[in-house]
Amino acid sequence: MSKQTVLITGGAGFIGSHLCKKLLNNGYKVICLDNFITGRRDNLAPFAKDSNFQLEICNVFGYIDIPGKIDYVLHSASLPSPKDYLNFPIQTLKVGSLGTHNALGVAKKKKAVFMLFSTSEVYGDPLEHPQKENYWGHVNPVGLRGCYDESKRFAEAITMAYHRVHKLNTKIARIFNTYGPGMRHNDGRVVPNFINQALTGRALTVYGNGRQTRSFCYIDDVVEGVLRLMLSKENFPVNLGNPNEFTMLQLVKLIIKLTGSKSRIVFKGLPQDDPRQRQPDIAKAKRLLGWKPAVSLEDGLKRTISWFRG
């Protein structure tokens, strides 16, 4: 029996590259699409010469033409870091709209299963806590974060349109804050920011009063959830994240403790539309996928800090 083939857009990114590695280890052929605007070739180095791995350099918001059989299309291409989507707002919108449309077209042509890597940002600054999949969100479409939030909301809408009109087998993973080895040092998200500042002796920057919350899921747990969703029968959105909620102050103090840093904490103004609370309700993932995170924040941070030191 021939190997199944998985096409991953944004496969050189943080989550995408971990997924490439896991799929190759699980016996799949993997085709990675990336234009390296934020993805890194270093992420692909461990398996770049694997005969079951193929790299295609392209923009997903341009035409995608991949010959041969494809069984799954996983659309992870995105600019999820605030630093990136604020620097590249138009590209962010194009990846979420045109890129999703093109990736769906490949899945339709190949009669493949399609999965969208969506985000907790579709909930915006939520008025419901914790956030269930049936919550519609509280998003400012014309704010600075709107380019990312609305690109993902549109991506979900067109994915469901293809499911309903073309009967495409679709999956939507709403991924909450994810961290781990392989993140860019200058990524701009809170975990690499704090770790880098702590390891280099700089002041750790906390925005607002530090009481806003997030829920951090280790990369291995997210990848496991994605694979289970890929193979499931579910077509509607599923939250993938760690339901344990931490304030920014709790996170920064834990990172200072684990790194042994002498850095001080400084406070700056809260960015526009920054969510006050973020916590996934993962009852659906538990019920349908038999999935829940296994790695605690402290254990995951220890592994991540070790990688950053290296």
Q: Which residues of 102-141 are buried (b: 16+ CB within 10 A; e: fewer)?
A: bbbbbbbebebbbbbbbbbbbbbbbeeebbebebebebee
Contact (Cβ atoms closer than 8 angstroms) between residue 199 and residue 265: no
> Residue type for 292, please?
K
> How far apart are the C-alpha atoms of 275 and 282, rounded to whole Å?
19
Query: In degrees rounded to 5, what are phi and psi of residue 246?
Result: -130, 145
CA 74 to chain CA mean position, Å: 12
Element (H, E) at 194: helix 190-199
> How far apart are the C-alpha atoms of 271 and 7, rounded to whole Å?
36
Element (H, E) at 179: strand 178-179
> How far apart are the C-alpha atoms of 69 and 78, rounded to whole Å?
24
Residue in the block written with tokens 């920054």:
274
Look up residue 124 and give its DSSP letter.
B
> Residue type for 208, please?
G
Instruction: Please indicate whether residue 148 is annotated as part of the active site.
Output: yes
From the candidates 85, 148, 162, 218, give the one annotated as an active-site residue.
148
Query: In degrees rounded to 5, what are phi and psi of residue 137?
Result: 100, 170
For residue 75, CA distances in Å to 61, 86, 152 come to 12, 21, 11
Nearest to 181 by CA among 196, 194, 192: 192
Query: In degrees rounded to 5, what are phi and psi of residue 14?
Result: -60, -60
Q: With the CA atoms of 270, 293, 280 and 258 taken in that order, what torsion angle do they form, in degrees rounded to the nearest 10? A: -20
Which residues are part of the catalytic machinery?
Answer: 148
